[in-house]
């Protein structure tokens, strides 16, 4: 579904991703872990199409298409969803009208009729239940006055409504208490299917107790230095990132 080859990305001349490779197939859940400042969020932003980064080298193919040539809104309509680390507030715009606009833009892109108000409300109720979100949240303006936990749940709720093929969750677990973490994880697990894939970007192993990944990758200095299964996350937890850093530095020295 997603193939990233030798990707190098910089911002203002400073290289962040450097020779990054990743293959994600339908049905898979990948976790990308690593210390702060190693390019995890940059990766998410580049896949989503944020234009503040310069792609210096490499390619990203998404479902056989050159992703880097697609506008960010087209990527979204083609099924790429980014759960933001810091979801922004949009004052005065209700969650309902925001999501209805988003869904209908996507439907238009796919050649479908726009969803009626009644259909949309029904869908919203359904998804609210799925992700255990309070009904009040959808009447409020987008993220306005939401607590940190509410904002993250709201991202999962939006993901449920948009039913993406490829979801990237950027530090969705940061700042969540254990109950909110479970709600978020439950949402993600319920949406898992053989047709879609998920990339979870996280600093901690904690979330991976609830969402079992197929692959765990460790990102360091702009590239993946170690890959494995769930046990790698546990190993990281006990040994710390220093261990990976050391290994990476040793590899670089050779």
Partner 1 sequence: MEDKNNDILEEVTGSEYKYGFYTDVEMEQAPKGLTEDTIRFISAKKNEPEFMLNIRLKAFRHWQTLKEPRWAHVQYPPIDYQDIIYYSAPLKKPKLESLNEVDPELLETFEKLGIPLEEQKMLAGVAVDAVMDSVSVATTFRSTLAEKGVIFCSFSEAVQEYPELIKKYMGTVVPYTDNFFAALNTAVFSDGSFVFIPKGVKCPLELSTYFRINAANTGQFERTLIVAEEGSYVSYMEGCTAPIRDENQLHAAIVEIIAHKDAEVKYSTVQNWWPGDKEGKGGVYNFVTKRGICEGENSKISWTQVETGSAITWKYPSLILRGDNSTGEFYSVAVTNNHQQADTGTKMIHLGKNTRSTIISKGISAGFSNNSYRGLVKTTRKAENARNFSQCDSLLLGDKCGAHTFPYIEVGNRSSIVEHEATTSKISEDQLFYCLQRGIDMESAIGLIVNGYAKEVLSKLPMEFAVEAQKLLSISLEGSVG
In the complex, the residues that contact partner 1 under the rule CB under 8 A are 48-52, 71-73, 76-77, 81-82, 84, 86-88, 90-93, 97-99, 101-102, 105-106, 109, 141, 158, 162
Structure token digits, residue 62: 């998404």
At its nearest, how many Å lie between partner 1 and the CB of residue 233?
27
Residue 51 CB partners (closer than 8 Å, separation 6+)? 72
166 versus 216: smaller Cβ distance to partner 1? 166
Question: Is residue 188 within 8 Å of residue 31, measured between CB atoms?
Answer: no
Torsion of CA 20, 156, 187, 177, to 10 degrees: 90
Q: State the minimum distance, in angstroms, from the CB of residue 117 to partner 1.
A: 14
Cβ proximity of 41 and 168 under 8 Å: no
User: Which lies closer to partner 1 via its Cβ, residue 152 or residue 223?
Assistant: 152
Looking at beta carbons only, is 162 or 216 nearer to partner 1? 162
Q: Can you read off the two tokens belonging to residue 218?
A: 């460790």
108 φ/ψ angles, rounded to the nearest 5 degrees? -60, -45
Smallest gap, in angstroms, from Cβ of residue 254 to partner 1?
38
For residue 219, count CB atoms less than 10 angstroms from its CB and return exposed for 0-12, middle for 13-18, buried for 19 or more. Answer: buried
Q: Are 57 and 5 in contact (CB under 8 A)?
A: no
The residue assigned the tokens 């898979």 is 28
Q: Cβ atoms within 10 A of the Cβ of 245, count?
A: 17
Is residue 135 classed as helix, strand or coil in its secondary structure?
A: helix
Closest to partner 1 by CB, 3 vs 141, is 141
Minimum gap (Å) between residue 217 Cβ and partner 1: 23
Q: Output DSSP code: residue 88.
A: P
Q: Smallest distance, Å, CB 91 to partner 1?
A: 6
Least gap, CB of 224 to partner 1 (angstroms): 24
């Amino acid at each position: 579904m997603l193939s990233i080859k030798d990707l190098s990305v910089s911002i203002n001349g400073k290289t962040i991703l450097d020779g990054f490779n990743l293959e994600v197939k339908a049905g898979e859940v990948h976790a990308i872990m690593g210390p702060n400042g190693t390019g995890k969020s940059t990766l998410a932003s580049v896949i989503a199409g944020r234009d503040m980064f310069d792609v210096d080298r490499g390619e990203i193919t998404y479902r056989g298409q050159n992703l880097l040539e697609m506008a960010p809104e087209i990527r979204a309509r083609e099924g790429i969803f980014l759960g933001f680390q810091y979801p922004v507030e949009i004052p005065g715009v209700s969650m309902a009208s925001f999501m209805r606009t988003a869904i209908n833009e996507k439907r238009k892109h796919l050649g479908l009729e726009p969803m009626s108000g009644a259909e949309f409300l029904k869908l919203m109720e359904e998804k609210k239940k799925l992700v255990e979100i309070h009904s009040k949240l959808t009447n409020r303006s987008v993220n306005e006055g939401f607590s940190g936990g509410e904002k993250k749940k709201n991202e999962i709720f939006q993901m449920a409504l948009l039913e993406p093929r490829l979801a990237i969750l950027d530090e969705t677990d940061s700042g969540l208490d254990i109950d909110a973490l479970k709600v978020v994880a439950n949402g993600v697990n319920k949406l898992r299917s053989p047709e879609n894939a998920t990339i979870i970007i996280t600093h901690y192993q904690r979330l991976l107790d609830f969402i079992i990944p197929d692959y765990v990758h460790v990102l360091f200095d702009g590239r993946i230095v170690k890959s494995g299964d769930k046990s790698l996350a546990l190993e990281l937890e006990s040994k710390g990132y220093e261990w990976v850093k050391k290994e990476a530095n040793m590899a670089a020295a050779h």
